[in-house]
Amino acid sequence: MRCPFCGNIDTQVKDSRPAEDHAAIRRRRFCPACGGRFTTYERVQLRDLVVIKSNGRREDFDRDKLERSIRISMQKRPVEPERIDQMISGIVRRLESMGETDLNSKMIGEIVMESLARIDTVAYVRFASVYKNFQAADDFDKFVSELRPADKPEPES
């Protein structure tokens, strides 16, 4: 695994343990070249999923992008990180078990909103309000940047 800090490919695993109720293996890694430490997760991938955007473009499904958008909408919400991990794994499992490898981006957004609505209303509203403006734009990175809350302070909960 390549070191994300210096690019060295010879990194060492220091510790491996089950995570997310044994749905993943978490590995702590160490880079002897720069001393950097980072974590990787190993997960079952049942299918190679492809996202079909509304403009017809195809893109490999990227769990990290999905996770980023969900974490941003969850920012500063009183929800345990473990619970967010479980929700994300649940969404991915649902997508993988749909029986199709091609997934409509709109359908993915709806599944995410459904899951968020069950866990945290504020996060759901954040996600949904951006999502509604986003359906035409269909650029996930843009979507994530719009989701990022403005710099104004939020009340502590």
Tell how far CA 21 is from the center of its chain. Answer: 18
DSSP H stretches of helix in 10-154? 63-73, 81-96, 105-119, 121-134, 140-147
Q: By CB under 5 A, is residue 1 in contact with Zn ion?
A: no
Distance, in Å, from the CA atom of 112 to the CA atom of 66, rounded to the nearest integer, reads 9
**In this structure, are residues 115 and 121 in contact, taking their beta carbons and an 8 Å threshold?**
no
Q: Counting Cβ atoms within 10 Å, is residue 82 exposed (0-12), middle (13-18) or buried (19+)?
A: exposed
Q: By CB under 5 A, is residue 4 in contact with Zn ion?
A: no
Of the candidate residues 26, 36, 107, 128, the single one contacting Zn ion (CB under 5 A): 36
Binding segment (CB under 5 A) for Zn ion, from list 6-14, 47-55, 83-91, 108-116 = 6-14
Of the candidate residues 8, 53, 125, 128, the single one contacting Zn ion (CB under 5 A): 8
Of the candidate residues 31, 70, 95, 113, the single one contacting Zn ion (CB under 5 A): 31
Q: By CB under 5 A, is residue 74 in contact with Zn ion?
A: no
Of the candidate residues 23, 24, 33, 52, the single one contacting Zn ion (CB under 5 A): 33
Q: By CB under 5 A, is residue 32 in contact with Zn ion?
A: no
- Binding residues for Zn ion (CB under 5 A): 3, 5-6, 8, 31, 33-34, 36
